[in-house]
Structure 1
Amino acid sequence: MRKTSKNKEKSFIPFSHKKLKNRNLKAEKIHDNTTKTQFKRHTKKAFPNKKRKQFLLKIQ
């Protein structure tokens, strides 16, 4: 086990980082790691119009 912060310790399972990433996909993480166009694409696929607008408002 590698050292993790107190918050991450609860959700940390060794050897399943990719699964965890998918499960805990937070808007902030996506926004930091990708460009705005990629982020828009992701939200379009993930949410229909009404939900997407609410989701984008929550981020800001």
Structure 2
Amino acid sequence: MAVAKGALLTTKVHLAVDGRDLLLALVLMPGNVIDSTMFQTVMDAVRIASVMIRTCWRWAR
């Protein structure tokens, strides 16, 4: 790999967290990638377990 004299190799860390600051996804990309193009990649990396929510269909009195 050729690198120009004085050039730095950089890495960007893209994270997705929930409301409790728990990590949902982490994607590492080269530093020369535009941040806005990574949104879909980060969202695709998020995996959320489905949870059955018990609901009550009766109206409150």
Same structural fold, with TM-score higher than 0.5 when normalized by the shorter chain = no
Pick the TM interval, shorter chain. under 0.3
* Structure with the larger helix share: 1
Larger Rg: 2
Q: What is the TM-score of this pair, normalised by structure 1?
A: 0.23
Q: Which has the higher contact order (CA 8 A, sep 6+)?
A: 2
